[in-house]
A and B are shown apart, each in its own frame.
Chain A
Amino acid sequence: MATAVRAMRGGLPSQNQWSSVMPLSDIPYWYTRAVQTVMRLADQAENWDGYGSLNIQIPARTRANELLAILSINGASAPHIAPLSGGGLQFEWEFAGRELELEILPTGDIDFLTTSPNGEMLQGEVPDPKKQIPLLFGWLITGEFTTAASYLENRYATSP
């Protein structure tokens, strides 16, 4: 049986809490505005685009708020937030010619799409945002997936 060593220190915040909050002192400048944008979009009535679109579904709204918290913790920059016709939301970033889109489906599931400067695209699901968001953001900033590469290659299809 292997043995692991972990550092431990007194005074760490309680980790057994289930309901999660973001302390105001840890919130980046864009967070409150982003939360308000999600709330505003979620409050739109059906047919908000004049083409019969659904309003933002509750699971999508809840997941969007969770995602904003994860993004904040990971030092992400402000996303561009847009509603989707089926009742979901989309978060978008662009950096150094690279684009990252996170599509929050009406069910609350998340899909991602990355587009490299040469047009290469990679898409797939984000089943565990806490694990995969840092990797996707790492790619946006550096252009490399580092430890994410093998995971993504095994799990997702690529298209030229």
Chain B
Amino acid sequence: MRDVSPLEQMRSQSLALPDFDEPPVVETLLDVAFTPLAAWRIPHFGLFWQLIKSDYPQVEDQPPILLQRERFGEAADKPTTFEFQFLQQPEARCWFISNSQSQLIQLQNDRFILNWRKIPAEERYPHYDSIRPNFEFEWSRFFDFLTRESLGIPEVQQCEIQYINHIELSGWQSFTDLFDPLTGWPGGRGASALPKPHDMAMTTTYVLPDNRGKMRVSLQPAIRNVDGKPVIQLSLLVRGKPELSSTASILEWFDGAREWLLKAFAEFTTEKMHITWKRRD
């Protein structure tokens, strides 16, 4: 009997996780925040773009985003305070958008983010099995670029994985049809003196074992800007720090965090909706 490789082990674990053929996910993102690259200058955006331009021909300027660093243990119990962060220029973030308009690389001197979003012409969600190698490829390209240009090696501060779901107003009548925890909410059961909740917004935070990360599950009624449709946005994210700054360690952290997101999605949503989204595990 041959040995089972770590990759196969990971895949077999992955198979045991909740899985859906038609989940309501509209966007995923894999985000790596690192110590600012001291030698990074504006021209480096252009040099990097040259490298990826055939795959990401569209570019947009954006204001940079700040790191929302998660705190654990005693630090997390202290009240939130204003912090001041001294930023070295260039204060810029570049968006590199793919030919298909479904993939985006966001780059700034301390951040690398790969987003996938659903576009109408692309009906199927590609699943993590496709998104993960995509991230590995693009991160490696960035890493090689930094090495070649002598810009230093990213020292990872925090990673984030996020799944954003848009649940359109069809196939369900009330929030309790959608979300399992809300069946016990005032108005969620028949015996309640209150009527069924009409609108609801909430965020729940979980600290993962061994402080591997913090998971946030957020529910927000909203209007989708691209088509003006009312949706319930259910976003699930995990932020935390991999053990090391290596690509393998980053990927391992994403794999673990993603498992929590899948479990949370399955536990938060109802079996009725699982049927709609074609759960297959």
Contact = CB atoms under 8 A, between A and B. Distances in A.
Interface of A: 1-12, 14-25, 27, 31-32, 35-36, 38-39, 61-62, 65-66, 68-69
Nearest to A72: B223
Given A7-B83, A21-B166, 20 more contacts: A6-B84, A6-B87, A9-B81, A12-B66, A14-B235, A16-B29, A16-B106, A16-B113, A16-B160, A17-B29, A17-B235, A18-B29, A18-B115, A20-B224, A21-B224, A22-B222, A24-B223, A27-B223, A32-B223, A61-B227
B223 A22 contact: yes
B164 interface: yes
Among A2, A5, A18, A69, the most chain B Cβ lie within 10 Å of the Cβ of A18
Interface residues of B, number: 46
Given A2-B89, A16-B115, A21 B233 contact: yes
A4 B89 contact: yes
Contacts of A14: 68, 162, 235, 237
Given A5-B86, A8-B66, A14-B235, A19 B226 contact: yes
B80 interface: yes
Interface in B172-204: 199, 201
Contacts of B228: 35-36, 38-39, 65, 68
Nearest to B38: A1
A5 B86 CA distance: 5
Contacts of A11: 68, 80
Among all A-B residue pairs, the 4 with the closest Cβ atoms: A35-B228, A21-B222, A69-B225, A15-B65
B30 to A, nearest CB: 10
16 contacts: A4-B89, A7-B83, A15-B65, A17-B164, A18-B29, A21-B166, A23-B201, A23-B222, A24-B201, A24-B220, A35-B228, A38-B228, A39-B228, A62-B227, A66-B226, A69-B225
A16 B225 contact: no
B65 A16 contact: yes
Interface of B: 26-27, 29, 31, 65-66, 68-69, 71, 80-89, 91, 104, 106, 113, 115, 117-118, 160, 162, 164, 166, 199, 201, 220-228, 230-231, 233, 235, 237
Given A16-B29, A18-B104, A4 B87 contact: yes
B223 A21 contact: yes
Nearest to A2: B89
Contacts of B104: 18
A106 B23 CA distance: 33
A4 B225 contact: no
A116 to B, nearest CB: 31
A34 B237 CA distance: 32
A23 B71 CA distance: 27
Contact of A8 (B29, B31, B84, B89): B84
Contact of B225 (A6, A20, A36): A20
B222 A4 contact: no
Nearest to A39: B228
B44 to A, nearest CB: 14
Given A39-B228, A65-B228, A17 B87 contact: no
Among B80, B81, B224, B231, the most chain A Cβ lie within 10 Å of the Cβ of B224
Nearest to A27: B223
A2 B115 CA distance: 31
Contacts of B226: 19-20, 62, 65-66
B82 A21 contact: no
Contacts of B237: 14
A105 B136 CA distance: 40
B207 to A, nearest CB: 15
Contacts of B113: 16
A10 B227 contact: no
Nearest to B222: A21
A24 B83 contact: no
